Amino acid sequence: MWLYLMTPVGLYYLLRWYREKQVVSNLQDKHVFITGCDSGFGNLLARQLDRRGMRVLAACLTEKGATELRNKTSDRLETVILDVTKTESIVAATQWVKERVGNRGLWGLVNNAGISFPSGPNEWMNKEDFAKILDVNLLGVIEVTLSMLPLVRKAKGRVVNVSSILGRISIVGGGYCISKYGVEAFSDSLRRELCYFGVKVAIIEPGFFQTAISSSDGHFSHVKMLWEQASSEVKEFYDKKFLLSCEWDLSLVTDCMEHALTSRHPRTRYSAGWDAKLIYIPLSYLPTCLSDAFFYRTSMKPEKAL
């Protein structure tokens, strides 16, 4: 009996493995535009695709980041300065990309740029704190995508949006989770619209990884001050919301991005990190009362922290 049950499952995974191993042809002729290449996932992906022979167009926020990236890659890789919160910067970058891809179009757009600070109790935030994250993580993704879309559609290429496991289940205050829920919704609607044009949209949902995504500039000094003044009980309460230490192997994420760009049959969603696969995704499917109880039991009682 078990044999009859396991055979279809085994055949399904064998077929999926075979389909996902098929690679797009002529990768060396395809251009990929990546945002947020100063460090972290974007930086590693740019170097990874460059080693594979693809034509990488890397967008960095700073000239320093762009210079450092060029020093680590081949002459094929080109960089441009891009601030995803500024329309004029996006328009200029789009024109720059158009000049390089020509009639071939843009094979891959990777919306990777993002920030996570400030995060903490919602009560500590103000409207500007939420708006800052949303401008980068959500509105930036939307505007860059809309600007580059004609080039991607011409190539019948790929859009890869970096979301987060916190786009499935919200466990921290501030704008980060809100922005990632928005990226999930935007990507879903985009995927259904673009499938008629031969364009495929993939979502990357990393767990907790150690990157330089956080930015604590002076604009958020009030949040930093409240955090520094918080009791050890408050800090322990919020630290325990992140049950596992951050993963350091960023290639777990960039390998998913690479597959979404190079496979003939990319997945709709990629989850990276064993915490995402074994804890947070299963929790996101549980009834709300059970997932709430899980987080309640794994941290101290809220009245002691707040």
Tell me if 109 sits within 8 A of 33, measured CB to CB.
yes
The residues with which 50 forms a beta bridge, in sequence order, are: none
**Rounded to the nearest 5 degrees, what angle is found at the Cα of 166, between the Cα atoms of 195 and 209?**
100
How far is it, in rounded angstroms, from Cα 105 to Cα 208? 34
- ∠ CA 166-37-105, rounded to 5°: 100
CB 244 within 8 A of CB 208: yes
- Residue 177 φ then ψ, to 5°: -60, -40
- In the chain, what is the greatest distance between 2 CA atoms, to the nearest angstrom? 65
**What are the tokens at 28?**
């060396």
Catalytic residue among 4, 18, 176, 181: 176
**Does 176 qualify as catalytic in the annotation?**
yes
With CA atoms as reference, report the closest residue to 60 among 46, 75, 76.
Answer: 46
Q: Please list the active-site residues.
A: 176
